[in-house]
Structure 1
Amino acid sequence: MTVHSPPLQDNHPPRKWFDTIMIINLENIDYGDAISHPPFSTLNYAPYNGTLLTNYRALTHPSQPNYFAQVVGDGIVTSDDIATINTRCIVDLLEEKGISWASYAEGYPDNWSDDKPYLNEHTPNGKYVRRHVPLVSITSIQENPERARNIKSGEAFQRDLQAGTLPQYIYYTPDQDNNAHDTNIRYAGQYISEFLYPFSLGFCIDFDETAFWVGKNRVATWLLGTAVNSNPLPSHLKSSQRTQSIVSLNSVKSHAPRHPPVDTSATANDSGAVQLISLLGSAFKTPIAEKGYTDKGKFDHFSILKTVEENWFLGNLGRKDVTATSFGALLHEV
């Protein structure tokens, strides 16, 4: 079954490129390794029809500052130590314009009923970690029960998906296995292939930082969805006549849809030797993805926030989102 974006309403807020955005972050994989493994190696080919951003940079190490940058527009934290931050964020701008939003996190306690979000650093099994869900750590969300209810579990995402009640702004966090943090690129690839296949939503998928803390912190990032230029508009349908969406993940234009191959032998406990062999193998071949639909524009984590702001005419947070470059040149205008 193909699941589509929620239908437009008569009072739908003005938008520039898309009706729905879904942001997905994966963890700690170097650019060359990421784009050499399926399905990442073919996300810029059909059936995904995405665009690979070949000059996208993470901001720093460790992880948490990169996540916060996407929602507050600044490196407001500098470590992975859990902290509650009293600052304006993307939610303030969204709500001022009547844009619906939610943050879904795999491993987050399902049907959490407290007035505040689940504030532990991680769940007992360690699959959910708070540092990868930045909106949980914003004071105005913690202290507002209505906002706190928009921090949801992965199971809640599936229920909202089936009910057709997904919000317009979706911040989705895979668990520590599915994001490759506690596993590897092969395991994450199998997960992404299974996760993306049913959707016509748009996505912004990237890796938060490189595995090695040296170099330019270049990370693999893709834009996917009906709003992306690499996804051709049907000749009989204008952009403004359909529900458009975006996700960040690389893809390429192709007239021969095919499903990317998935290495089903991937497991959460692959040995270090297996992972090293996989990394070395990718280093000595030209990745398929580099031959697909790509863009060399300079982007970073602030670009995600900037794109959301420009799409719904939200204004800005007055931080590094002001000077960031959005993905707008790569998207269909409505």
Structure 2
Amino acid sequence: MLFNAFLVTVVAGTAAASSCSKAQRAATSTTPTRVWETAYTATGAAAVAAAKATAKTRSPTSNVAGKVFDRYVSIWFENTNFEKARADPNFAAFAAQGILLDQFYAVTHPSQPNYIAAIAGDYFGMNHDDFTRADFNISTVIDLLDTRQISWGLYQEDMPFSGFEGMAWVNQRNGRNDYVRKHDPAVIFDKNAHYEDRLAQIKNLSMTDTAASQFHRDLAADALPQWMFITPNMTSDAHDTDVTTAGRWLKSFLGPLMSDKKFMKNTLVLVTFDENEVYSDRNKIFSVLLGDAVPDALKGTTDSAYYNHYSELATVEANWDLPTLGRWDVGANVYGFAAAKMGAPSPRAWAASENFSRHYFNASYAGAFYKKGKGNAQFPAPNLALDGYNGRPVLEEVKKTWAGSKAPT
């Protein structure tokens, strides 16, 4: 197993790179010298410029073989009903190159709870997009990846600097919304924001200035991580515009990468949306699996099994034989084309006695993040009884943290 760290420190807008050899973890246990959870929350132009001058950027790499894919990339768009996305010529063109998941559902509304669900296995009752911090005792997929030293990174379009924690950052020329915290799931969790080295792996992507884009720098240096979460800005993702704009962005960004050997290394790409647009409809969203990890015989096909945002976690866990978070990730369906090779159960159908059509997935259950204070304000404990389910243990750190907890599961 090879795990190299391509370290980049950004100083006054310039990048100085150094390479480290041998096995070096992402230094996520580094003792903080300041309160990093709130170090980069200021959004004023002067404060952002000052932070940008010293903020660290890290680009660790690794080469840990998976059972089906060796790299996983998740690209999220916004607020579009399934049929509208499928009718867009650019999204349709990508569906023809992969596996269309035509029964893929978001887990609730609005945006933010869907993003955090995809990396934490729960949305903790959230029903809003407000500034939120999840307690340090809540683990995410990043903790799972670190158990096998699998490199990871998030790329946020037009984020002002690596590790930015502010609520939003607007385009300084035209005032349009660019980066928003609610679409950056890793930074919401104190377990990640507590460490400078983890913040340093939440990085910028730019399609208008690729020379300053950390994604494009990492691509050119062959330093992209094995697990990636990519969020277009508020114009590119259809939130402030429309699906046509989003489709054009996807074509311009992902199109060239489909044949780029530095990107396509037994890579599985999920193109998906956070939620649908019409809240009174069933919360079905357009999702397609792409990449050179998809068998040629399955390209242009449709998988009609039930999936949701927790399926991302379940699939990544099964692929790299990772532990689980002991939450909704444990029972989620793994992508069908890969399940057998991963030793995971085939996607399960809903029980015949259950009327699936009655499930809309368009409202949040009560919990710690429920805005009106409805329900139990505690974070739910992971279900430690699921330790060993499907042959996969719950993360040891999770078991130690939550042992003896009286919080509801």
Aligned to 2:284: 218
Larger radius of gyration: 2
What is the one-letter code of the residue matched to 1:68? I
Q: Which residue of 2 aligns with 1:124?
A: 170
Deviation of 1:330 after TM superposition, in Å, equals: 4.4
TM-score normalised by L of structure 1? 0.74
Structure 1 partner of 2:189? 138
Give the distance between the partners of 2:321 and 2:338, measured in 1 at CA: 18
Work out which of the residue numbers 75, 81, 88 in structure 1 matches 2:130.
Answer: 81
Deviates more, 1:196-205 or 1:308-317: 196-205
Counterpart in 2 of 1:53? 101
Name which of 305, 309, 321 aligns with 1:297: 305
| 2:75 maps to 1:67 | no
Alignment-derived partner of residue 19 in structure 1 = 70
Greater alpha carbon shift after TM alignment, 35-44 vs 168-177: 35-44
* AA partner of residue 128 (structure 2): S
2:111 maps to amino acid: S
Query: Equivalents in 1 of 2:341, 2:237: separation in Å?
Result: 31
1:168 and 2:226 correspond:
yes
**8 A Cα contact 1:209 1:217, kept in partner:** yes
Structure with the larger strand share? 2
Q: Distance in 2 between matches of 1:151 and 1:12?
A: 20
**How far is the alpha carbon of 1:78 from its aligned partner?**
2.7
C-alpha displacement of 1:135: 0.2
Shift of 1:329: 2.8
Equivalent residue number for residue 104 of structure 1: 155
User: What do the CA deviations read for 1:211-237 (whole angstroms, capped 9, x no partner)?
Assistant: 1001220100000011123x34xxxxx
Is residue 2:253 matched to residue 1:195?
Answer: yes
CA distance in 1 between counterparts of 2:150 and 2:340 reads: 20
User: Does structure 1 residue 227 correspond to structure 2 residue 227?
Assistant: no
**2-side partners of 1:81 and 1:44: how far apart?**
33
- Aligned equivalents of 1:323, 1:59: Cα separation in 2: 14
TM-score (normalizing by structure 2): 0.61
Is residue 79–residue 274 contact of structure 2 (8 Å, CA) maintained in 1? yes
Contact 1:227–1:332 (CA<8 Å) still a contact in 2?
no
- Partner in structure 2 of residue 258 of structure 1: none
In structure 2, C-alpha distance between the alignment counterparts of 1:168 and 1:14, rounded to whole Å: 10
- Residue type of the alignment partner of 2:103: N
- Residue 14 of structure 1: CA displacement? 4.2
Q: Give me the whole-angstrom Cα distance separating, in 1, the residues matched to 2:340 and 2:151.
A: 22
Q: Do 1:228 and 1:332's aligned partners in 2 also have CA atoms closer than 8 Å? A: no
Q: Quick one: distance in 2 between partners of 1:16 and 1:324?
A: 18
Structure 2 runs not aligned, ≥5 long: 1-21, 24-61, 172-176, 206-212, 259-263, 343-409
Alignment-mate amino acid for residue 118 of structure 1: F
**1:248-303 Cα shifts (integer Å, max 9, x gaps):** xxxx73xxxxxxxxxxxxxxxxxxxxxxxxxxxxxxxxxxxxxx411101000000
- 2:95 alignment counterpart: 44
Mapped to 1, the partners of 2:217 and 2:191 lie a distance apart of: 26
Comparing 137-146 with 65-74, greater Cα deviation is found at 137-146
Once residues 217 and 295 of structure 1 are traced to their aligned partners in structure 2, the CA distance between those partners, rounded to angstroms, is: 18
Change (3 A) 1:119 1:309: same
CA distance in 2, matches of 1:199, 1:123: 27
1:147 to 185, 191, 198: 198
* Inter-partner Cα distance in structure 2 for 1:214 and 1:331: 33
How big is each residue's C-alpha offset from its partner over 1:116-167, in whole Å with a ceiling of 9 and x where there is no partner? x211100133210000011011112111111110010001011101111000
Q: How many residues align?
A: 260
Equivalent runs, 1:226-245 vs 2, <5 Å: 226-229=292-295, 231-232=296-297
TM superposition shift of 1:28: 0.5
Q: How does 1:26-37 map to 2 (within 5 A)?
A: 26-37=77-88
Structure 1 unaligned blocks of 5 or more:
1-8, 233-251, 254-291
Match of 1:178 in 2: 236
8 Å CA contact 2:103–2:306 kept in 1: the answer is: yes
CA distance in 2, matches of 1:55, 1:228: 18
Query: Does the CA-based 8 Å contact 1:39-1:192 persist in structure 2?
Result: yes
Cα distance between partner residues in 2 of 1:329 and 1:80: 34
CA distance in 1, matches of 2:221, 2:64: 21
Q: Which residue matches 1:310?
A: 318
- CA distance in 1 between counterparts of 2:304 and 2:226 reads 28
SS across alignment from 1:39: helix
Percent identical pairs in the alignment equals: 36
Query: 2:128 and 2:75 mapped to 1: Cα distance?
Result: 21
**More relative contact order, 1 or 2 (CA 8 Å, 6+ apart):** 1
Instruction: Tell me the amino acid that sits aligned with residue 59 of structure 1.
Output: V
